[in-house]
Amino acid sequence: MTTMTEKVSPGFWRAAGKRLWADKLARGCLFILAVYFVLALASTMGWLAKDWNKQVAVSWAAPTMVGKQQQDSHGFKVEVIAPDAEARALDPLTPFEAELTAAAKAYQQEAVVLADTLPLGADKVGRDIGSKVIKAAQTSITVGLLAALLSVAIGTVFGAVGGYFGGRLGDALEWLYSVFTSMPYILLVLAFASVLGGGVHTVILVLGFTGWTGTYRLIRSEYIKQRSRDYVLAASAIGASDARKMFLHILPNVSHLILVQLSQDVVNFIKAEVILSFLGFGVPVEAISWGIMINEVMPELVLGKWWQLATVATVMSLFVVAFGLFTDQLRDALDPKASRR
Amino acid sequence: MKFATFASLVCLVAAAFSPANAQVADMNKILYAYLRGTETGFDPAKYSDTGSVEIFKSIYETLLGYDYLARPQMLVPGAAEAMPEVSEGGRRYTFKIRPGIYFSDDAVFKGRKRELVAQDYVYSLQRLVDQNNRGAPWDFLFKGKIIGLDEKIAEAKRTGKFNYDKPIEGFKAVDRYTFQVNLTRPDYLIPQMMGSPATGAVPREAVEAYGDDFDGHPVGTGPYRLREWQRRNHIVLEANPNFRGITYTPPAGAKVDEPIAAQLAGKTFPRIGVIDIRVIEVPQAAWLAFDSKQLDVMQEMGTAYARMVAPDGVLLQKYQDRKLQFYRESQGNTYWHMFNMDDPVVGGYTPEKIGLRRAISYAYDQQWEANIVKQGQAMPAQTPIGPEVEGYDASYRNSFYRLDPAYGNAILDKYGYKDCDNDGFREAPGCQPLLITYLDQSNRDTRDYDEMLQKMMGSLGIRLKMDKKTFSDLVKQRQAGQYMMSFGGWNLDYPDAENFMQLLYGPNAGPVNEARFKNKEFDQLYEQIASMPPSAERNAKLIRMSKIVAAQAPWILTNHALFSHIAQPWMIGYRPHPSSKEYWQYYDYDQSMRRSMTGR
């Protein structure tokens, strides 16, 4: 018996990984993305930016490098006065006043000293923009990743079924695809969002349910191409089931496309979340995302408070650019025939 | 020579046939203005939204009206010759209509001039209570006050059709020009009602001829008529050629803006022939239009822009250099958070329910909302009564309103709102679940507001859920009492405290008293102030009512919005009015200055 392992050629994935790692740009992007994912993870675990929602500085405290700014003298002071006899008589709580005042002592909190400046400045309600942008990254990256996974999963299954079986089933899926793509994307997303309501989960669902069409077309055409290939016919000859052929034989041969599609979708969905939140259909009031931060910026710029925009724009564009470049490199690495270098 | 003779003859003939004070509007003058919200239609009986009222106020004429410059606001005769004659101890009001007022020409008049007569008011005022007019949003003005009117409403409910032909004692045309109102009880606010834009006269033949199209085909006697209407986008008004032309004289004893009064003296109005109004809902777009001189006046600018042009209430130097006219003023409005008093969780009058609402009221930071959320464009409220209103006391401080979440927490502990399952949130007494749902508007940017509410409830350990609905659904739900907690706001219909206190009057529970608050003493006091002329005694009762509201907390008062208005330097006689309505008929501008600065 001769052994078949005399000369091991590197596997497809290993070779692709090597090609990717050899590229400096890809390595750089990977490093940046790793930093983002670590930050998002740390914030999810509560190690970072836990108190992002607390007021720590004066309203619109400037970044440290800009220095303390003159506060507008606008504003009203509500003068607290002691109740008169009439108010006491009308107040059903008056008999318990002493008791309540004593009990309230337990809840008395020390007044927080508000900072005049912060490294990245503060927003309208005096929250640290640094913590805020990290917490927002957590939401935005989570939404982007999960929505991309969902949409790619839907697109792949539909594409595989449609491409492999064709016929009536394929026609039905084509019809569904036409319905989804006949509507402008943003309007479709808004329609879904207004039906499902707000919340991080629904944003993920909305983006996942509306964003599968691209993947579907791609995978469908691949399956049509692959289903009559020799290796599939061979599998049929030995009696492999349809499911086995679809997911164990053909799927690995198109998986690089899925991976590329996935990383493209992450970027697209992060941007879509920004739009959704900007239009008021996004994440709920307890959460924060890059989209919400950008939405807050509009009136701030009018008043010359530019630091929130500067921070969120830098952080978000760096992520989107790094992810986009990485996707490009990934596609090149996974497609051995594409030798652009 | 011959031509001159002919021309003078024509002039002579024309002079003989036109009234002495014919309107002199220059049809080449176009004022560019904007609406910050959309309009719906121009039938005064059907619509009460700000945008629509703003427009139809200039199309129809009311018997009385608020003087343009007098502050505090003062009622003056409108279509009536003089203020009404009051008799029968405040139960009868007799108005004499000025003869020679004509409706704008319309096909339904078949080429004849149609004069305004007393019967027009008998008809128009009854329309306000006819439920077929989109549920009669103005019916609170007259319901329960006019002899014979309620019987008619009840009959209309039975038959489904309001019978306008059956005469009633309450609204009576004594002769062609004499209109009489007869009341079931004395009411000193009838003149105020007759100054509300809803009470403008409409001609019955036009309403019947156009049916639902009357919305977009208004016919009135006011200074302007509708020339063009693209829904929710563009409205063009033009001077009504049949309008008699008016002059401005400050009413006796009124405090007026003297320089503006001097600019108006001796002129016949209206002077601007065309008012071109765009609907611009985005504050940024409105400001950019004004900044680039495409708008002549900008009433009620957005808060961020108001703060930008005048951070401390005074116009920045660079805008002063442009000689812009700027006003920041309070208006008759009030905003509040409210509880549904019929709700099993937050409503009711038992000690633990009052305790819960009061605790929330101690956690609410009035100053924060006014200064941070509203950017200093609002002042904290102490009573339900809006400023610039009879009965409003600027110096009064309400001892119930103070920020003290620790005290609120103590109250909740006392009444058994404890955290039974240690999840950081309180449960209702007896460890029942406690979740407060706040009904909020979905299609406006309310994030600052929502965050403030989360913070407020968080400081008490109460779980809050925001329930976002579109504005029309929200109004429907609030009026039907299908909510727990929500927000409310009121713009005066007439500048009297009664117009605000009616919002909490027990028998008004429903679409008017949306909190469904019922308190015996409050209701008695309301009935007293409703039929009392202004006095120190009445003011004391109003203060007591405010204290009852604060103690029982169906409402937590928030603030009175301040408004900033800005106008280009070429505007003449411009002064914003506290009713938040525009008085276009008194505006004018310096044509040559505008042309030299804008080319328009």
Q: How confident is the model at residue A338 (pLDDT cuts 50, 70, 90)?
A: low
Q: Is residue B302 in a domain?
A: no
Reported as half-sphere exposure (CB side, CA atoms, 13 A), residue B193 has a value of 19
Using CA atoms, how far apart are residues B486 and A254, in angstroms rounded to an integer? 54
What was the pLDDT predicted at B23?
65
Which phi-psi region, left, alpha or beta, contains residue B225 (left: φ > 0; alpha: ψ -120 to 50)? Answer: beta
Tell which wins on pLDDT, B185 or A194. Answer: B185
Cα angle A82, A87, A89; round to 5: 125
Exposed / middle / buried, residue A234 (Cβ in 10 Å: 0-12, 13-18, 19+): exposed
Q: Is residue B454 in a domain?
A: yes
Q: Is A25 on the interface with B (CB under 8 A)?
A: no
Q: Which residues of A touch B357 (CB under 8 A)?
A: none
Q: Which residues of B touch A302 (CB under 8 A)?
A: 284, 287, 304-305, 308
Cβ-based neighbours of B535, under 8 Å, separated by 6 or more:
none
The pair phi, psi for residue B338, each rounded to 5°, is -135, 155
SS3 A18: helix
Nearest CA in chain B to A299: B304
What was the pLDDT predicted at A171?
95
Instruction: Using the predicted structure, report yes or no on whether residue B334 has a pLDDT greater than 60.
Output: yes
ipTM, two decimals, is 0.76
Instruction: Using the predicted structure, report yes or no on whether residue A3 has a pLDDT greater than 70.
Output: no
Looking at the fold, whether B338 and B210 belong to one and the same domain comes out as: no
Distance of alpha carbon B22 from the chain centroid? 31
**Contact between A86 and B308 using a beta-carbon 8 Å cutoff:** no
- Chain B nearest-CA distance from A331, in A, is 40
- Residue-by-residue DSSP string for B455-508: HHHHTTT-EEEEEEE-HHHHHHHHHTT--SEEEEEEE-SSSBHHHHHGGG-GGG
Q: Is residue B356 in a domain?
A: yes
Instruction: Using the predicted structure, report yes or no on whether residue B4 has a pLDDT greater than 70.
Output: no
Q: Is A84 on the interface with B (CB under 8 A)?
A: yes
Q: Which residues of B touch A75 (CB under 8 A)?
A: 367, 370-371, 376
- Chain A nearest-CA distance from B201, in A, is 42
| Biggest CA-to-CA distance, chain A | 108
Q: Is A90 on the interface with B (CB under 8 A)?
A: yes
Out of B302, B308, B410, the one facing A104 most closely (by C-beta) is B410
Using CA atoms, how far apart are residues B519 and B526, in angstroms rounded to an integer? 10
Using CA atoms, how far apart are residues B390 and B393, in angstroms rounded to an integer? 9
Q: How confident is the model at residue B49 (pLDDT cuts 50, 70, 90)?
A: confident
What was the pLDDT predicted at A108?
87
Residue with tokens 């006091």: B525
Give the residues across from B326 on adjacent strands.
B566
What was the pLDDT predicted at A7?
63
Q: Which tens digit of pLDDT belongs to each residue from A144-164? A: 999 999 999 999 999 999 999
Last residue of a domain, one of B214, B238, B265: B214
Q: Which range is least confidently modeled, A4-18, B62-76, B391-405?
A: A4-18
SS3 of B512-558 = CECCCCCCHHHHHHHHHHHCCCCCHHHHHHHHHHHHHHHHHCCEEEC
Q: Which residues of A touch B450 (CB under 8 A)?
A: 285
Q: Is A83 on the interface with B (CB under 8 A)?
A: yes
What was the pLDDT predicted at B374?
87
Query: In this prediction, what percent of chain A has a pLDDT beyond 90?
Result: 47
Instruction: Using the predicted structure, report yes or no on whether residue B17 has a pLDDT greater than 50.
Output: no
Torsion angle defined by CA atoms of residues B455, B459, B461 and B467, in that order, rounded to the nearest 10 degrees? -20
Q: Which range is least confidently modeled, A272-281, A320-329, B414-423?
A: A272-281
**Contact between B544 and A78 using a beta-carbon 8 Å cutoff:** no
| Biggest CA-to-CA distance, chain B | 103
Using CA atoms, how far apart are residues A149 and A258, in angstroms rounded to an integer? 10
Instruction: Using the predicted structure, report yes or no on whether residue B171 has a pLDDT greater than 90.
Output: yes
Mean pLDDT, rounded, of chain A: 87
Instruction: Using the predicted structure, report yes or no on whether residue B15 has a pLDDT greater than 70.
Output: no
Q: The domain containing residue B444 runs over which residues? A: 333-561
Q: Which residues of A touch B544 (CB under 8 A)?
A: 86, 90
Out of B308, B358, B550, the one facing A302 most closely (by C-beta) is B308
Amino acid present at B438: Y
**Contact between A108 and B406 using a beta-carbon 8 Å cutoff:** yes
Alpha-helical segments (H) within chain A: 12-22, 24-45, 85-90, 97-104, 129-165, 167-182, 185-196, 200-210, 213-226, 230-237, 242-244, 251-278, 290-302, 307-334
SS3 B205: helix
Cβ-based neighbours of A40, under 8 Å, separated by 6 or more:
A134, A137, A138, A141, A142
Q: Which tens digit of pLDDT belongs to each residue from B488-517? A: 999 888 889 999 999 999 998 888 899 999
CB contacts under 8 A, A 108-137 vs B, are 108-109, 124-125
Residue range B32-40: average pLDDT? 91
Out of A93, A107, A303, the one facing B406 most closely (by C-beta) is A107
Residue range B521-529: average pLDDT? 95
- Chain A nearest-CA distance from B554, in A, is 14
- Chain B nearest-CA distance from A102, in A, is 9
Q: How confident is the model at residue B168 (pLDDT cuts 50, 70, 90)?
A: very high
- Chain A nearest-CA distance from B488, in A, is 20
End-to-end CA gap in chain A: 42
**Contact between A90 and B448 using a beta-carbon 8 Å cutoff:** no
- Residue-by-residue DSSP string for A290-341: HHHHHHHHHHHHHTT--HHHHHHHHHHHHHHHHHHHHHHHHHHHH-TT----
- Chain A nearest-CA distance from B298, in A, is 17
Determine contact, residues A177/A76, Cβ cutoff 8 Å. Answer: no
Using CA atoms, how far apart are residues B57 and B42, in angstroms rounded to an integer? 9
**Contact between B547 and A90 using a beta-carbon 8 Å cutoff:** yes
Number of helices and strands (H, E) in chain B? 19, 21
What was the pLDDT predicted at B14?
44
**Helix or strand run (H / E) with residue B395:** none
**Contact between B312 and A109 using a beta-carbon 8 Å cutoff:** no
Residue range B60-68: average pLDDT? 95
Using CA atoms, how far apart are residues B572 and B248, in angstroms rounded to an integer? 14
Nearest CA in chain A to B454: A286
Q: Which range is least confidently modeled, B10-24, B77-91, B109-123, B546-560?
A: B10-24
How many domains does the structure of chain B reveal?
2
Mean pLDDT, rounded, of chain B: 91
Q: Which range is least confidently modeled, A271-285, A327-341, B275-289, B312-326?
A: A327-341
Q: Which residues of B touch A59 (CB under 8 A)?
A: 372
Cβ-based neighbours of A233, under 8 Å, separated by 6 or more:
none
Using CA atoms, how far apart are residues A234 and B428, in angstroms rounded to an integer? 69
Q: Is A78 on the interface with B (CB under 8 A)?
A: yes
Using CA atoms, how far apart are residues B453 and B464, in angstroms rounded to an integer? 8
Alpha-helical segments (H) within B22-91: 50-56
Looking at the fold, whether B198 and B69 belong to one and the same domain comes out as: yes
Residue range B141-153: average pLDDT? 92
What was the pLDDT predicted at B568?
97
Nearest CA in chain B to A110: B406
What was the pLDDT predicted at A72?
66
Q: Which range is least confidently modeled, B10-19, B76-85, B175-184?
A: B10-19
Nearest CA in chain A to B550: A91
Q: How many CB atoms are closer than 10 A to CB A241?
A: 10
Amino acid present at B450: D
Using CA atoms, how far apart are residues B313 and A194, in angstroms rounded to an integer? 40
Using CA atoms, how far apart are residues B92 and B85, in angstroms rounded to an integer? 8
Instruction: Using the predicted structure, report yes or no on whether residue A341 has a pLDDT greater than 60.
Output: no
According to DSSP, the β-strands at B234-239 and B272-279 are antiparallel
Q: Which residues of A touch B282 (CB under 8 A)?
A: none
Q: Is A296 on the interface with B (CB under 8 A)?
A: yes
A-to-B residue pairs, Cβ atoms closer than 8 angstroms = 118
Q: How confident is the model at residue B531 (pLDDT cuts 50, 70, 90)?
A: confident
What was the pLDDT predicted at A296?
84
Determine contact, residues A185/A275, Cβ cutoff 8 Å. Answer: no
Tell which wins on pLDDT, B18 or A206. Answer: A206
- Residue-by-residue DSSP string for B304-370: HHHHHH-TTSS--HHHHHTT-EEEEEE-SEEEEEEE-TT-TTT-SSSHHHHHHHHHHHHH--HHHII
Q: Which residues of A touch B287 (CB under 8 A)?
A: 302
Cα angle B212, B213, B217; round to 5: 135
**Contact between A197 and B354 using a beta-carbon 8 Å cutoff:** no
Residue with tokens 């939204």: B49
Q: How confident is the model at residue B1 (pLDDT cuts 50, 70, 90)?
A: very low
Last residue of a domain, one of B214, B233, B265: B214
Q: Is residue B582 in a domain?
A: no
**Contact between B311 and A108 using a beta-carbon 8 Å cutoff:** no
Where residue B183 sits, what CATH number does that domain have?
A: 3.90.76.10
Q: Is A321 on the interface with B (CB under 8 A)?
A: no
DSSP 8-state class, residue A96: G
Tell which wins on pLDDT, A262 or B17. Answer: A262
Q: Which tens digit of pLDDT belongs to each residue from B236-250? A: 999 999 999 899 999
Residue range B390-402: average pLDDT? 92
Long-range contacts, stretch B530-535, CB < 8 angstroms, 24+ apart: B530/B187, B530/B189, B530/B498, B530/B502, B531/B90, B531/B185, B531/B186, B531/B187, B531/B188, B532/B188, B533/B188, B534/B390, B534/B391
Q: Which residues of A touch B397 (CB under 8 A)?
A: 79, 81
Q: Is residue B96 in a domain?
A: yes
Q: Which residues of A touch B413 (CB under 8 A)?
A: 103
pTM of the model: 0.78
Determine contact, residues A120/A133, Cβ cutoff 8 Å. Answer: yes
Using CA atoms, how far apart are residues A12 and B410, in angstroms rounded to an integer? 68
Q: Which residues of B touch A197 (CB under 8 A)?
A: 468
What was the pLDDT predicted at A73?
60
Instruction: Using the predicted structure, report yes or no on whether residue B21 has a pLDDT greater than 70.
Output: no
Instruction: Using the predicted structure, report yes or no on whether residue B3 has a pLDDT greater than 60.
Output: no
Using CA atoms, how far apart are residues A18 and B510, in angstroms rounded to an integer? 72
Q: Which residues of A touch B550 (CB under 8 A)?
A: 87
Q: Is residue B36 in a domain?
A: no
Q: Which residues of A touch B399 (CB under 8 A)?
A: 80-84, 87
Determine contact, residues B331/B379, Cβ cutoff 8 Å. Answer: no
Determine contact, residues A290/A278, Cβ cutoff 8 Å. Answer: no
Using CA atoms, how far apart are residues A24 and A20, in angstroms rounded to an integer? 9
Q: How confident is the model at residue B98 (pLDDT cuts 50, 70, 90)?
A: very high
**Helix or strand run (H / E) with residue B123:** helix B118-127
Out of B303, B410, B551, the one facing A91 most closely (by C-beta) is B551
Q: Which range is least confidently modeled, A69-73, A81-85, A296-300?
A: A69-73
Looking at the fold, whether B210 and B337 belong to one and the same domain comes out as: no
**Contact between B454 and A285 using a beta-carbon 8 Å cutoff:** yes
Which string of b and e fits A154-189 if b means at least 16 CB within 10 Å? Answer: bbbbbbbbbbbebeeebeebbeebeeeeeeeeeebb
Determine contact, residues A18/A331, Cβ cutoff 8 Å. Answer: no
Q: List the structure tokens of A212.
A: 């599968």
Using CA atoms, how far apart are residues B522 and B541, in angstroms rounded to an integer? 9
Q: Is residue B92 in a domain?
A: yes
Instruction: Using the predicted structure, report yes or no on whether residue A279 has a pLDDT greater than 90.
Output: no
Q: Which of A109, A106, A108, A91 is nearest to B355 (CA)?
A: A91
Q: Which range is least confidently modeled, A272-286, B13-27, B148-162?
A: B13-27
Q: Which residues of A touch B376 (CB under 8 A)?
A: 72, 74-76
Using CA atoms, how far apart are residues B65 and B52, in angstroms rounded to an integer? 18
Q: How confident is the model at residue A280 (pLDDT cuts 50, 70, 90)?
A: low
Query: In this prediction, what percent of chain B has a pLDDT beyond 90?
Result: 73
Q: Is residue B490 in a domain?
A: yes
Q: Which tens digit of pLDDT belongs to each residue from A12-55? A: 788 888 888 888 999 999 999 999 999 999 999 989 888 898 88
Q: How confident is the model at residue B20 (pLDDT cuts 50, 70, 90)?
A: very low
- Chain B nearest-CA distance from A213, in A, is 29
**Contact between B376 and A76 using a beta-carbon 8 Å cutoff:** yes
What was the pLDDT predicted at A335?
73
Where residue B458 sits, what CATH number does that domain have?
A: 3.10.105.10
Last residue of a domain, one of B165, B180, B214: B214
Residue with tokens 């938040």: B580
What was the pLDDT predicted at B10?
47
What was the pLDDT predicted at A337?
65
What was the pLDDT predicted at B388?
86
